[in-house]
Amino acid sequence: MAPHAELGDVDRQEGQKEGHRKHGCEGAENADGEIASPVDVVIRLHQDFFGLVSHIVWRPILVYQDGRHKIGIGFLSIEGDWAEIVTQMQEMEDKLRRMILDMEIGPGERLTERWVEGQLGASRTSVRTALFRLEAEGLVSRDGRGWIVPPIDLEEIDQLFTYRAVLETAAIRLGGAKAHASDLNDIEAVLDSVDADASPDLAHRAGQDFHVRIARLSGNDFITRAVSDAMTRLSRVRWLESNPKHRGWDEHRAVLNAIRDKEIDLAIKLIEAHIIDTRDRLIASLQGSRRSLRARGIGLKAET
């Protein structure tokens, strides 16, 4: 009895042609009008699915022929630099994330997978995978059959800052006293990288790096990732603050100096006060700018 290897069946019967038509397998016919084998169809589907055009080939191991039927056993092989392929997919995801964080796609805007596919030149499934990952980060959410960039949610902002305060004070409590000098020097270098003439974007990135490095002092990867995730979710609002210049950098240095001096209780109080003050200032700024934000088409969801 022939082995069950329907995937390798290369029968060219007319019934197979009708089957391809019936099930809507686009690309089932080759350039000569002949019907492609199921292997060719599967390769085509994989190429469409992953966007790996010209990277997938059929590698036969055994071919069995009995009369009009030919059955092949083999495997699908991905040719080329797999790392490069993955890098391209990651770059596409990063670009979409940056478009949202930089407000190129604003809060409250709807988008479709087809639109993103056209903008970024990626396969539909690569786009869908990126959207699922961004959904986990809170940067997009489902909206019927499409997607939406969530409006700025004041209650969520309040909760995220409270969450950060709990995490970052815990990080200093856990690791502040035993922090290595090299780690503290790296944190200081981050603060030194920003001067009075620094762009808002550079200042934001450095501020985000500072808080993630403070979290890393805990030696707990879960705390570090949680703070990084919270900072990402808050990144969009940096473009909306009416007065971005404040004394935050002095507060950062005060926290760092307290840790250097092994004044851990003081460092905890300083980081908590800094986070809460930043929260209050930001929410007040957004509430005061509600009308102008609405005029710019930026969705703002009030606290309940």
Whether the pLDDT of residue 23 is over 80: the answer is no
Taking only the tens place, the pLDDT of each residue in 251-289 is 999 999 999 999 999 999 999 999 999 999 888 888 777
Torsion of CA 115, 121, 126, 131, to 10 degrees: -40
CA distance 268 to 253: 13
The whole-angstrom separation of Cα 25 and Cα 32 is: 17
Which run of H or of E encompasses 62?
strand 56-66
Q: What is the pLDDT of residues 180-229, one digit of tens each?
A: 999 999 999 999 988 877 777 788 889 999 999 999 999 999 999 999 99
Rounded distance between C-alpha atoms, residue 201 and residue 289, angstroms:
20
Assign 3-class secondary structure to 122-134: CCHHHHHHHHHHH
- Check residue 77 and give its pLDDT: 56
Q: How far is CA 21 from CA 14, 117, 284, in A?
A: 11, 26, 61
Domains and CATH numbers, the chain: 6-78 (no CATH), 82-148 (1.10.10.10), 152-301 (1.20.120.530)
Under 8 Å between Cβ of 71 and 2: yes
Q: Of 102, 99, 101, give the one whose Cα is nearest residue 115.
A: 99
Angle, alpha carbons 242-246-250 (nearest 5°): 160
pTM over 0.75: no
Q: Are 38 and 8 in contact (CB under 8 A)?
A: yes
- Contact (CB, 8 A) for 89 and 81: no
- Supply the pLDDT for residue 175: 96
pLDDT tier for residue 52 given thresholds of 50, 70 and 90: very low
pLDDT, tens digit, 9 for 90 and up, residues 118-133:
888 887 778 888 898 8
Q: Which of 249, 196, 188, 194 is nearest to 213 (CA)?
A: 188
Closest CA to 58 of 45, 69, 30: 45
The answer on pLDDT for 295 being more than 90 is no
Q: Which residues of 134-143 are buried (b: 16+ CB within 10 A; e: fewer)?
A: beeebbbeee
- Examine the pLDDT at 20 and tell me if it is beyond 50: no
Give yes or no for a contact between 147 and 112, defined as CB atoms under 8 angstroms apart: yes
